[in-house]
Amino acid sequence: MTREFIPYGTTLNVAISILDRCDPSEIAAELESPLCGQLGGPSYRFVGTTSRLAAVVDRVGRRLIESGECGAGVATWRLYNVALIMFLTSEDRELQTAYKIATALAG
């Protein structure tokens, strides 16, 4: 199913839509997972983002802090990594729902 998200940025948009609906405790657990750090790689590269993605990531970060699951702010790249982890572990139905949300907001 994930191979269907071909247009540039669609995968990340869908992943962020999934992240936005996750419970803060789930996000916090994935932030601590080894995979989150491994996805980061040895260097940082910023390629830009849309204002919608930035707003969702900011909202997720605020929810994490307000929930008490994370004491301080979380690096944006780590939230993107968690979003991709959640994307990879999602069921097809959840991916379809997130795709509909992401494309409706982008359109």
CA dihedral sign of residues 73, 47, 103, 26: negative
Q: Is 72 domain-assigned?
A: yes
- 28 has a pLDDT exceeding 90: yes
Q: Measured between alpha carbons, how far is 93 from 107 in angstroms, rounded to an integer?
A: 21
Residue 26 lies in a domain: yes
Q: Is 27 inside any structural domain?
A: yes
Question: Nearest 5°: CA angle at 15, between 12 and 16?
Answer: 85
Our count of domains for the chain comes to 1
Q: Does residue 84 have a pLDDT over 90? A: yes
Tell me which of 4-8, 21-25, 67-71, 83-87 is least confident: 4-8
Please say whether the beta carbons of 31 and 76 come within 8 A: no
Question: Is residue 49 in a domain?
Answer: yes
Residue ranges making up the domain that contains 57 = 9-38+45-106
Confidence of residue 29 (pLDDT cuts 50, 70, 90): very high
Q: Is the residue at 2 inside a domain?
A: no
Domain membership of residue 3 (yes or no) is no
| Dihedral sign for Cα atoms in the order 92, 81, 76, 22 | positive
Instruction: Dump pLDDT digits (tens) for 38-74.
Output: 887 777 666 677 888 889 999 999 999 999 988 788 8
Q: How far apart, in whole angstroms, are the C-alpha atoms of residue 37 and residue 78?
A: 8
Residue 1 inside a domain? The answer is no
Banded pLDDT at 7 (limits 50, 70, 90): low
Q: Is 63 within the bounds of a domain?
A: yes
